[in-house]
Every structure is written in C-alpha cells, then in structure tokens.
Structure 1
C-alpha cells in the first residue's frame, strides 16, 4: 500500500464506493474516531453556500496568512492536481504527505466504505492535524449538514449564498436548501450569513442550535462608489477599500467573518487583500491577444454575477461554453444569451456532461464542437477579427479543459 504514488491512490479511492456522492456523516465519523483526530487545537472556519465558497475561503486564508498565522485550507474540486484541494499557507500539499494520509486512512478504515470526497476530507484533516496550524479553513463540498466537512465542529460558520442547485440531493426549495447549508452551525459559535434575501430557515436553524447569527444588510452592510467601496457594521467601518478582483458580496462577508476572530483587522491589510486576492477560474484573465477569461459559473446565480462582470468589460464578448446536464442550463442561457455576440459550444466528455447539441437547443445560431481545442481556436480567431474578448465558462470541467491545454 505505502508504495503507491498519489495518482495510484486517487485511482484506488475512486473505485472504493459505488456512488460519486452519498451524503451522511456516519461513515466518515467512524473513521475519524479511528484516526484519533480529536478536537483540533486550531480554530476552524467552515464555509458553505451555493456560490462564493471558494473566493470566500481564499480571501479568509490569504488575510490570515498575511497576518502571520499558519493556515490549512481545504477546497474542492481541483482543476489539474488533487494537491490543489489541500493547501498549507497558500501552497499545495506535497504528494508525500497526501500519500501518507491515504495510507493511514486505509489502514484504519477496515470495511467502512468511503466516497472519494470522504477519503479526501479525511486526508486533509489528517494532514492539518499533523502540522502546527493556527486556523483550518474548510469549504463544504455539497450542502452542509450532511457534508463530510461537517464532521469537524466549527468555531465559525459562514454561509455565502443560497440558490437552487443540486436539487437531487438538497431539495427543490430555497428554504430547504438554506436549512441544509446552515447545518454547519454549532451552539455558541457565530453563524455569518452573507446571503442576500436569506430564507427564514437560516435564522430558524441558528435559533434551534443556539448559534449567534450575523446577517448581511442587517448586522453589516456595504456601499460602492465609482472606484472604491466601504463596509459598515459590528461597531466598525472601513472606507475607501479597493474594488476586489473577487466578488464584492463575498468580500463583504469576509470582513464580517474576520471581525469574529481574535485578530487585528485593519484598513491597510484589507486594502492589500482586495488588491491582490485572486482565485483560479473566477473571472480570471488568462491570456491576451485576444483577451481570454475563465469562469466556473455553472448555475443561475453565478450566471447573473458573470453577466455583471461582462457588462463592465464594455466590449464585444465571445463565449466558449460547456455544461453539465444536471445543471439549470435553460436559466443560465436565458441570463447570458444576449451578453455574447457569438457562442462556441462544446461537449463535456464526463459522465454528467451535456452535449453541445443540448446547449444549442437554447442557442440555434451557436457553433458546436466535440472538444475544447478546436472550439477555443475558432473562438479566438473570431475574437481577433472582431477585437473581442473570449470567456470560457460553464463548469469546473470546462475550465479544467482549458487549463489542460495550457499546461
């Protein structure tokens, strides 16, 4: 077992459970107990939400690291390397440490079946436990209450946004999804809600659990000027902050979260954070001549955010788009169809991938392709003629396909 490479281990753990997703804490908790991972000495920040989890985790981790703290960050999915999921002070975890983690988990789990995500989460927790860290920043994979990240009691729970997504697992009501995501809250520990127009279920869960609730536009808020923004609430005010590269709504939630920690939160450090913080695949510029941006937007709420970004560009934009068939393709296309002057659609060659022809049902004039390489080449050629920008979006899988071509 110990001689396996990381790629060998990843192939192995993919084969150990018949389902890609099976929510529930019982399996993971039984193995966690065998790993003898008790309550971590580090403070735990757990982040759930339909959109905005990744950027929120990134900004929290970068602020804490820049302030001199040691930080472990667990996120998902990854684009090119599994190591992206487990970061220490902003750097990817080594193959060697991950292999050691998987080896130990395999030795103790016995006949307990684990999903790929459960294996991954346990490995991250084992790695973090081995190191002298001050903070663990944990991103929920799906939902919250029954997600394996919720095996660990959090010191500070964050819900970034609520929208209809993953309805096969979380239900088809905003109120029900809000209840699932707020399920990361713990008694006596703050719950920060960055949700715009939050469902009542978030407040209900906080009251049931006994978690102090702080809500955007109630306990804290923000306002935007032409080229800066201000934050107010919780007895603090920060003015003249630079507009961040990452979504402003999440930046506002990050400030509220940081203020719940026993650390210095200053305008100077916030200014540095918002000038510098970026995240792969979140309206990220990756090329010039022509300009190319990549964005993982894959549901209606994210499509609205992407539309706002496109409107700010103020120039023609061409889409390269691939999506998963279980997403709300109709709503995404309806939101964005008039934001692009041309569409280059591609098949996603994964089990849940939609065909370009399925997407083209909403966009009769679109070009259709079987893979990223030719779709991108043709889109860039057209963008060069039209002095336009190319935006590659629709799924983590789509962005990964782009990045793989550049690797």
Structure 2
C-alpha cells in the first residue's frame, strides 16, 4: 500500500479506529526488530496517569534550550493527528507524514498495526529520519502493553498515578501502578513524582526486582524560581519532575546541566487544555481534568485564584467512574452544568444519560455548538472540562487557542 497524499492516509487511519486496542506487544516488537533503528537516539519514556503531556512538554522545551534536537511523541491530538509527532515542537508536513506511513508499512506490511501502534512506529521513523538527539515518548495507556514500551528507554519518568482506565488496567491503584511499573527496565534508571503510598510501594518493589535505580523527585536538587506558563500548583510539580528527569539524563548522556536554560525552557513550554484561560466573547477555562486526581487539582487552583465559573460544560468517556468526580464537578459552580455529547466518538458517554446521572442541575447538549448556544449573556466565565476529546471539539472551532498566547 502506498499513500499518495494525506487525505488517503487520514482515511486509512480513520478506518483503523481511534479506540481499537489490542493489548499485546507482538506487532510492535516485530516492527522494531525489522526496522533496526531503535539505538539511533536516546529515549525518555514518560508514564503515569496525570501530567504526562505537560511533563513531556517541559522536557522537550528544556532539552531544546540546551541545544538538542528533540523528537516528541504525545497523545491524544486535538485537531489533527500531526500534533502527536513533533521535532523541536514543530509538526511535520503532510507530505512527510505520508512518507513515514509508507516507510512503516513497507517495513511491516503484514503486521496489522493498530491506530496507536502505527503512529508510534511513525514517530520512531520520523525521529531517526530527522536525526534527533533525544526522543521524549509519552505512553498512551498503562505501561506493560503500551506500544511505546517496545523501545528500551534511557530513562523512565513516572508522573502521578491514580485511578483511570480501571476496566483496562485494573480496579485499584496497586494494579494500575503494577501495569505502569513494567515500563522500567532491568538495570535501568527511573524517576518518580510524589505518589500515593500504594503506588509508591509497587514502583519501589518492581524497581528492586529489576535492579532499576528508582529516584524520587526529592532525591534530586530542584531548580529555584521556576515560572511555568501553565497555571496550577500541579504544573510546578510537573515542571520539577521534568527538571529531575533532565538532571538524570544529563548525568547519563554527558550534556551539561544549565539551570538558567532549565528556567527558560520551563517558561517557554506550553500545552493546550491544561487550566488554560482564553478571553474571547467571554472567559473560557479549558482543562482536561477527567479523573478524581485531576479534578482535585482543578478545584484547588480555582479556589486559589478565587474563580467560580458561571457554568460548566462537561463530558467524559462512558467507561469513566463518575462517582469520585460528580460531587467535585457540581461544587465548582453555583450555576448550570451542561452534559455535552462528543460527535463521532464511540467511547463518549451518551449526553442524555450523562445528564441524568449527574443530577437535576444538569442540562443536556448534543454537541459543543449546542452547548455554547445554551450559554446566557450573563455567563461570563465558562469552564469546559472532563475530556480532551471535548476540548478537541472546541479547538476545532477555535484553532487559534491551540497556540501559546504572546508574552505580555
């Protein structure tokens, strides 16, 4: 199969199904073996429940400030899948995407790669083709069977682990942490954010079994006066985790650690949809909080900023356990909550059912356009949260908000 243009490739990708999963590593391992390029660049593997995208963005920006050419693989995307693979923070052209897809399918024509696996393979090929000095690879789901877990990392980074994707990874923190802990390597190096005790115990035990040196963020000297562009105390914690990871990487790779470049990298890093404030016809707060840990961080920052949204537009996936987040969600506003549908998303919670589950204060809207049309003139501050796919629908209509705002 040869893709002549990006339209053809996009149609093929859509046919694979965004949410089709097959939790095994055989296809990826076969590609990596045939491809033979896994030792072309060092890899920092970012694994966890919350903060993976932000931590990856900080790491990318810090490494770029130090003069490295950095390939970054993240998920999900908002408007185009090209957001998932960048070199020095810049998306690749549609033409290059077609070339990458063709290279992957030539290398593994019978592999039957899933949507996420194909993009992971394309990222690896892109990074080799572009001669990156470092690849920052964000895990998609879990660790043990994640497609990104087929490339041996130079460093594994664990962001905070909490309850999420319980139907896939397990119903308890211990089971979820055990899945993610399998991203560590024998005699490897890893660093972890502050974890709840259950997760911390599991990570430490698995590291001991593997002879992997597991550092905690407190083991490594922080850098003072970090000023992330992203709001929230949890973002300062994500930034310090990235700094700790960068310090370990420098020690392993021989790159000189420069605190001033670290500060500038943190200040320049940006990722959309993380407590993002945008002023348009009204003030929108855009946040991908979708589990109890993320909602706690969102609530804390809104309280700290003395912000009470006039209305909330919320959506989530139908496999979410709404129990832990329902009370927090309703507490965040004295106004209405709009349960919003997400078009063309088979995993989205049906919006009418979602409204019924959340309670009598909740209205239902079929899609983001309908939800925005339901806002009153007095609704000056609107929180849009719950799913990055809901935010994607918003960004599709307002793509300018995907970019970092100009500095004052």
Cα deviation digits, residues 263-285 of structure 1 (max 9, x gap): 34344233323433221111112
Deviates more, 1:316-325 or 1:348-357: 348-357
Over the aligned positions, Cα root-mean-square deviation in angstroms equals: 2.0
Cα deviation digits, residues 6-40 of structure 1 (max 9, x gap): 23223214435897011121111112222232422
Higher relative contact order (CA 8 A, sep 6+): 2
CA separation of 1:19 and 1:404: change in aligned 2, threshold 3 A? closer
- In structure 1, C-alpha distance between the alignment counterparts of 2:12 and 2:226, rounded to whole Å: 47
Cα deviation digits, residues 187-230 of structure 1 (max 9, x gap): 232111114224211011111111101124xxx1xxxxxxxxxx
SS at match of 1:191: strand
Match in the other structure for 2:215: 214
- In structure 2, C-alpha distance between the alignment counterparts of 1:394 and 1:7, rounded to whole Å: 30
CA contact (8 A) 1:186 1:211 kept: yes
1:34 and 2:34 equivalent?
A: yes
1:1-400 map, 5 Å: 1-16=1-16, 20-40=20-40, 42-198=41-197, 199=199, 200-216=201-217, 220=218, 233-234=219-220, 236-242=221-227, 245=230, 247-262=235-250, 263-317=255-309, 318-342=311-335, 343-349=337-343, 350-360=345-355, 361-379=357-375, 381-384=377-380, 389-400=381-392
CA contact (8 A) 1:17 1:114 kept: no
Normalised by the size of structure 1, how large is the TM-score? 0.89
- In structure 2, C-alpha distance between the alignment counterparts of 1:117 and 1:18, rounded to whole Å: 7
CA separation of 1:403 and 1:237: change in aligned 2, threshold 3 A? closer
Cα deviation digits, residues 41-94 of structure 1 (max 9, x gap): x22100000111000000000010111110000001110011100000010122
- In structure 2, C-alpha distance between the alignment counterparts of 1:237 and 1:325, rounded to whole Å: 39
- In structure 2, C-alpha distance between the alignment counterparts of 1:157 and 1:264, rounded to whole Å: 20
SS at match of 1:158: strand
CA contact (8 A) 2:31 2:107 kept: yes
Cα deviation digits, residues 295-338 of structure 1 (max 9, x gap): 11111111111111221231330211111111122322222211
- In structure 2, C-alpha distance between the alignment counterparts of 1:326 and 1:239, rounded to whole Å: 40
In structure 1, the gaps of 5 or more residues are 221-232
Cα deviation digits, residues 153-202 of structure 1 (max 9, x gap): 00000110111111222111211211111211122321111142242110
| Number of aligned residue pairs | 386
Normalised by the size of structure 2, how large is the TM-score? 0.89
CA contact (8 A) 1:300 1:328 kept: no
Cα deviation digits, residues 380-402 of structure 1 (max 9, x gap): 63313xxxx21111111100111
CA separation of 1:120 and 1:243: change in aligned 2, threshold 3 A? closer
SS at match of 1:383: coil
CA contact (8 A) 1:14 1:115 kept: no
In structure 2, the gaps of 5 or more residues are 400-408
CA contact (8 A) 2:4 2:98 kept: yes
